[in-house]
Homo-oligomer: A and B are copies of this chain.
């Protein structure tokens, strides 16, 4: 029950701080263009398809293709085959990209792997079933193949998976002039985008970083070692993406070098990859608190059921625990039916009070704001606001009940139970996540089952228990 009401109000509350939905949104795709596309697919006009898509920005082309009915999308990809630009393929959302990779012939996939930066190529490889992956990898240049296999060897969601192996590294005795001439020689061989060049020693150990902006404003004859800065980040291939994202955010990085276990420079991560990670990580915690896995949102019913049923199952158990508490007071309920009518109110408000504190605590922990003195302050704050809100709503519900049932004793029981539940909720809302973190568990994942079970038990037990003592 809890979530129902408040969430709604939350909205009302945040309206001020929240920007209104960006309405009118610029339509993602031009409807006329979409119609032409549909026709082209029907008429199997591959040339028009290829031409049109190549003329657009890959991200826009991807949006256009995703606007097609799913089957028409597959048909379009099948028609295009090798002519589907790899940079469009990589811009497609997961479900579409996977479908596209399924439909494309091996040769097309292989050439895409060849054209893409290593981090994007790895994404495609992940979509393939093992033996097809093997087959395709075998057709690649031994070097590229080795590189891609190394990429796949890194753990998912590790820096090694996120990084691209294309970057610019130069020796420290070079001057600005050297570096620029070198870049001009390489020309198109250089990575498409990069924001800094890395200064290395003969053993490929990172000595420093030179921002392109710095390189630009420095005279040709200056040595790179004189203008290079120490790297702010310290990212190794096995580092978890959440930690990488944290460093990008903290130091406002546009890109960062990645070192292997031996401290050698092996890759570069760019901010555009981190932006998505930062969003995912921000959502993951809150999704957990909202009973949704970040895996959810898939198109297939099976996936959806599989993703949600398990939590509903746990809810089944915990809901019956609550029922168990209620059943302890069956006798009381038999004599005072009003209790059955009022008990959801205590549980609802208590649950909300607890989860409000919990959400704030979980995010604060994730953003590393709950450390040192902040912890003491947070606990104090939650306790005090728990008391204040508790008193406020103890009186509130008490009055409503009084008006409704004209029963002073009942109202006092309700109010007292309310206050007790609020205090309990306030403490568990902050202490449970902090405790779980101390134990090394993920607070986002484990907290709310504790907090909300605790508050429900407290709500029913205090309300019905007090009622048994006072009203019978």
Contacts and interface: CB of A to CB of B under 8 A. Distances in A.
A3 B313 contact: no
Given A14-B445, A312-B393, A452-B4, A341 B351 contact: no
Contacts of A388: 301, 305
Interface centre among A13, A17, A446 (most CB of B within 10 A): A13
Given A180-B216, A316-B397, A326-B340, A310 B12 contact: yes
A324 to B, nearest CB: 8
A348 B195 contact: no
A11 B284 CA distance: 10
Contacts of A352: 291, 311-312, 315
A242 interface: yes
A204 interface: no
A140 interface: no
Contact of A276 (B249, B308, B349): B249
Given A5-B453, A25-B368, A293-B10, A377 B299 contact: yes
The size bracket of the interface on A is 35 or more
Contacts of A392: 305, 309, 312
Interface string A424-460: 0000000000000100111111111111110110000
Contact of A344 (B19, B195, B294, B322): B322
Contacts of A1: 1-2, 318-319, 322, 344, 347-348, 351, 452, 456
A202 B353 CA distance: 59
A381 B304 contact: yes
A372 B299 CA distance: 14
Contacts of A320: 345, 400
A7 B291 contact: yes
A251 interface: yes
A11 B445 contact: yes
A184 B374 CA distance: 46
Interface in A1-39: 1-15, 17-23, 25-26, 28-29, 34
B287 A348 contact: no
Given A272-B252, A272-B253, A322-B1, A344 B347 contact: yes
Interface string A335-349: 001011111110111
Contacts of A316: 5, 345, 349, 393, 396-397, 400
Contacts of A75: none
A17 B180 contact: no
19 contacts: A1-B456, A4-B452, A5-B315, A7-B311, A10-B288, A11-B446, A12-B445, A13-B295, A15-B442, A67-B372, A212-B212, A252-B272, A274-B275, A283-B363, A291-B355, A297-B364, A305-B385, A312-B349, A334-B337
Given A21-B443, A59-B252, A283-B286, 10 more contacts: A4-B448, A5-B311, A7-B289, A57-B251, A184-B217, A212-B213, A282-B282, A290-B356, A300-B381, A322-B348
